[in-house]
Amino acid sequence: MLSRLFGVEKPVIGMLHVPALPGAPGFGGDWAHVRARVLADAEALAEGGVDGFLLENFGDAPYYPRRVPPHTVAFLTVLGHDVKRTFAKPLGINVLRNDARSALAIATAIGAEFIRVNVYMGVRVTDQGVIGGVAHLLLRDRQMLGSSVKVFADVAVKHSAPLAPRDLSEEVLEVIERGRADAIILSGAMTGRETLLESVRAAKVVARDTPVLVGSGVTAENVARVLGEADGVIVGTFFKHEGIVHRPVDKERVRAFMHLARRPRRESA
């Protein structure tokens, strides 16, 4: 599925971390600057050689736990449309913290290819409180809209903890078989933290034909190891200037990373 979507085996998806949008506590008062920053980051990622983008309202912290207000949806839709119109690469949408239904609506409207859902099934304790899964509503929305947007679902998502211990393999299997997710994402404990490769291996055993991506902590130092196990990666922090998540994308860091990613991707082809 990923090779059809991205045109390559083991795709590298670059994060478009949107600065605070109008209405968010951190908004600086200049909407034009937000748009320019997102497009500049997308250009740096594209020139560096990534295979796709994931647009996320990262700057809007503290996040709404579930549905975001209409103006957030509107501004993200404009940004997503700008990126799709400018760059011929697959695009994903993630509306933090867990507004997957808005993400699906945005993606369907602008022709984006996939969404990321942080809490797709089950229940997680997060810094926004207790958040429950949305698969039952999301897939009915997708059916109603006649949408072809793919669902990339997190399992044991970062910045969260389970209400009770769960076996990772069981969770992955439920998300695929009962939740009908198109791909699985595994991440470390927090943004930028490394994902345990043993977790990736365990997930791959039960996921079978469903892709398993690593969603945090991938760097130039570990990309070969990670792509030796995972079906793709989502990279944000490492691509920024000096590896600092709130800074702009550094095109040269992207290029260096993509160069190191060539061998494991070539070997898997």
Q: Using one digit for the tens of pLDDT, what is the confidence trace for 169-190?
A: 999 999 999 999 999 999 987 7
Nearest 5°: phi and psi at 72? -65, -45
Burial class (CB in 10 A: 0-12, 13-18, 19+), 49: middle
d(C-alpha 116, C-alpha 213), whole Å: 11
Q: Which residue has the tokens 């060539």?
A: 262
Token duo for residue 22:
């109008």
For residue 147, what pLDDT is reported? 98
Question: What's the first-to-final CA gap in the chain, in angstroms?
Answer: 14
Backbone conformation region of residue 147, classed left if phi is above 0, alpha if psi is from -120 to 50, else beta: beta
Burial class (CB in 10 A: 0-12, 13-18, 19+), 168: middle
For residue 90, what pLDDT is reported? 98
pLDDT in tens, 183-230: 999 998 777 678 889 999 999 999 999 999 999 999 999 999 999 999
Instruction: State the Cα torsion 62-97-137-123 to the nearest 10°.
Output: -100
Q: Which domains does the chain have, with CATH numbers?
A: 2-268 (3.20.20.70)
d(C-alpha 176, C-alpha 259), whole Å: 32
pTM recorded for the entire structure: 0.95
pLDDT in tens, 129-146: 999 999 999 999 999 999
| 189-219: b (≥16 Cβ within 10 Å) or e | bebbebbbbebbebbbebbeebbbbbbbbbb
Judge whether residue 156 has pLDDT over 90.
no
Sequence-distant (6+) residues with CB within 8 A of 183 are 1, 2, 114, 150, 151, 152, 153, 210, 211, 212, 213, 231
Q: Which residue has the tokens 């949008």?
A: 21
